[in-house]
Amino acid sequence: MTIRESSGLKGAFATLARQTSTPVVVIVGGLIAALVMVGLCALVLYEGRLDALERARSTSGNLALIAERDIERNFELYELSLQAVVDGMNRNDVMALPPRLRNDVLFDRAANAKYLGSVLVLDEAGNIVMDSADVKPRRGSFADRPYFTVQRDHPETGLYISDPYASRLRGGAASIALSRRLSHPDGSFAGVVMIAVNLDYFRNLFAGLSLGTHGAVSLITQRGIMVMRQPYDTHIIGRDISQAETFRRFRAEPQGSFSETASIDGVRRLYYFRNFPSLPLVIMVAEAEQDVYADWRRRAITIGSLMAIFALVFVGLSVMLAAQLRLRIRAEAELAVLARTDALTGLHNRRSLGDILEDEWRRASRTHTPFALLFLDIDRFKAFNDAYGHQAGDAALASVAHCIADNIRRPADKAARYGGEEFVVLLPDTSPAGAALVAEKIRAAISELPIEHGGSEYRRLTASIGLAHWRPGDNADVSALMRAADDALYTAKARGRNVVVTAIALD
């Protein structure tokens, strides 16, 4: 057992171990604070993401509503024009007018509107019988067109909006047709009135909507046929998307919003759709998620990076503070140890001896256990110092302290340097025989040290020991125990030194 491992130091280092938990608390606290800050930042950024999504949904809804109202307003005018032709053809006075005047009354210059083709009246065989473009109808049969066959085969159809087709009269211009049925007085099929709408109307309308780099807007029939899509692609116009998952969701509700990957181009978008209340059409406005979150992503990267740096700096400062606290606590603990420890021998000093002696005495008195005390003095130490010098004297004191520490092994046993070459050993709960055995071991260990002492009777370094013992029931106090051990030490000196003498009784 080394000097630093003596029982007197164990308590001090245990205290140090407990105190070192404080820096750990600082580090953990710093980590928790950093995590809380990062968590709050993440929550704010998440709320910002939701706000960006909600703004995009609101914008898409407004754009869809604007486009829907424009289309409905124009289609209402087109339908009124068709109905005017139907009503006019049922009036004999109108049909009896000269051809040019009749055309002016029936068509009311509707065909002159932008994006509109001619208004045609087809007979029951699908041939043109009246043409808003000229008094003399152009030649052509359209009995194969769905806008004709549907009206012929389904009298209840009303206004019919066709799928996109290439116009035969206008050089293949992409168009859709609006048609109404003509009936004889008996209700039989008499033909069709139709008006062609150039798809450039929808293309220009959608081109004016700001949807970001990867946004899209589409007009789809309720049968799932693509009427127009922006960005424009001729290969997409007229495509059947009725089996696409997105279209199924369009038809499931009057209007709504959802995120989905487009089957056309593979871009994930936020879709907003509306089913027209009075037309068999669906309008869809879709902003790409990368555009929806573009501004938010830039802010999130900036704010998140700054917060991450701040959190790392905060944790780093916590670690530095913990390191400084650790150093300070260690220094304070070492100072506390030094304040209670003899610097030369590593044993308790005289100051701490008083506290230890007082505590052990009260414990012995309370528990009624025996208590022993050894007083040790190095023989003729002044002569040793004079002969060999103070450096050798200090080395001799350290060696004696080693001998004492090596021979008291119980945690309760304590040893202290009393002053100069004097030492005190406390042996709580120790019988007289046990205390005498410890004292003899210490004396023998010192005597066996290979330290020459020419001024000693034994020609080597030796020590004398006085032993005093207190038994439960004795009336003596701790001062009496100290005096008895000191008197026994003087007796040992008088008997020739290098011996252990036990006090007979306490005064």
Spatial CA neighbour of 342 closest among 15, 2, 3: 3
> How many CB atoms are located within 10 Å of the residue 29 CB?
13
Nearest Cα to Cα of residue 280 among 401, 159, 370, 179: 159
Which carries the bigger pLDDT value, residue 19 or residue 54?
54
Q: How confident is the model at residue 103 (pLDDT cuts 50, 70, 90)?
A: confident
CA distances from 44 to 40, 71, 194, 292, 293 (A): 6, 40, 57, 17, 15
Parallel/antiparallel/unpaired status of strands 165-166 and 160-161: unpaired
Asked if residue 260 is part of any domain, the answer here is no
> Which amino acid, 410?
R
Rounded CA separation 271/60 (Å)? 8
Alpha carbons 139 and 129: distance in angstroms, whole number:
9
Tokens of 132: 């808003």
Question: How remote is the C-alpha of 452 from its chain's centroid?
Answer: 72
Residue 325 included in any domain:
no
Helix (H, G, I), strand (E, B) or coil at 360: helix
Distances (CA, A) of 58 to 256, 271, 273, 286, 292: 11, 11, 12, 12, 12
How many distinct structural domains can be found in the chain?
A: 2
- Inside any domain, residue 437: yes
| CATH code of the domain in which 434 resides | 3.30.70.270
Token pair for residue 56?
Answer: 């995009």
| 3 band by pLDDT with thresholds 50, 70 and 90 | very low
pLDDT at position 342: 87
* Rounded Cα gap, residues 415 and 424, in angstroms: 6
Nearest CA-CA partner of 469 in 416, 500, 433: 433
pLDDT tens digits along 170-188: 888 999 999 999 999 898 9
User: What range does the domain containing 470 cover?
Assistant: 350-502
Most confident of the following: 112-126, 224-238, 257-271: 224-238
Predicted TM-score (pTM) of the model is 0.59
Helix axes 390-406, 381-388, angle to 10 degrees: 130
Q: What is the pLDDT of residue 12?
A: 47
226 domain-assigned: no
Q: What is the CATH number of the domain that holds 185?
A: 3.30.450.20
pLDDT grade for 473, boundaries at 50, 70 and 90: confident
Kind plus residue range of the DSSP H or E element containing 406: helix 390-406
Alpha-carbon distance of 427 to 181, in angstroms, equals 123
Which residues have CB under 8 Å from 144's CB, separation 6+? 126
| Residue 401 banded pLDDT, cuts 50, 70, 90 | very high
In a domain, 12, yes or no: no
Query: Does any domain span residue 376?
Result: yes
- CB-based contact 507:485 (threshold 8 Å): no
Lowest-pLDDT choice from 13-22, 99-108, 214-223, 294-303: 13-22
3-state secondary structure of 421: coil
Measured distance CA(53)–CA(47) in Å, rounded: 10
Which pLDDT does position 331 carry in this prediction?
79
Q: Answer yes or no: is 299 within a domain.
A: no
Of 198, 233, 268, the domain-final residue: 198
The region of weakest confidence among 155-164, 326-335, 363-372 is 326-335
| pLDDT tens-digit readout, 135-152 | 888 888 999 999 999 999
Asked if 248 and 260 count as a contact pair (C-beta separation under 8 A), the reply is no
For the chain, helix, strand, coil in percent to 5 are 50, 20, 30
pLDDT confidence bin for 7, thresholds 50/70/90: very low
Nearest one of 351, 338, 461 to 395, comparing CA atoms: 461
Closest residue by Cα to residue 463 from 407, 400, 420:
400
Using only C-alpha atoms, the chain has a radius of gyration, in whole angstroms, of 55
**Residue 424 lies inside a defined structural domain of this protein:** yes
Higher pLDDT, 388 or 26: 388
In this structure, what token pair is assigned to residue 107? 């068509």
Is residue 413 pLDDT above 60, yes or no?
Answer: yes
Of the candidates 198, 220, 246, which is a domain's last residue? 198
Residues with Cβ within 8 Å of 402's Cβ and at least 6 positions away in sequence, in order, are 2, 3
Domain end among 198, 221, 239: 198
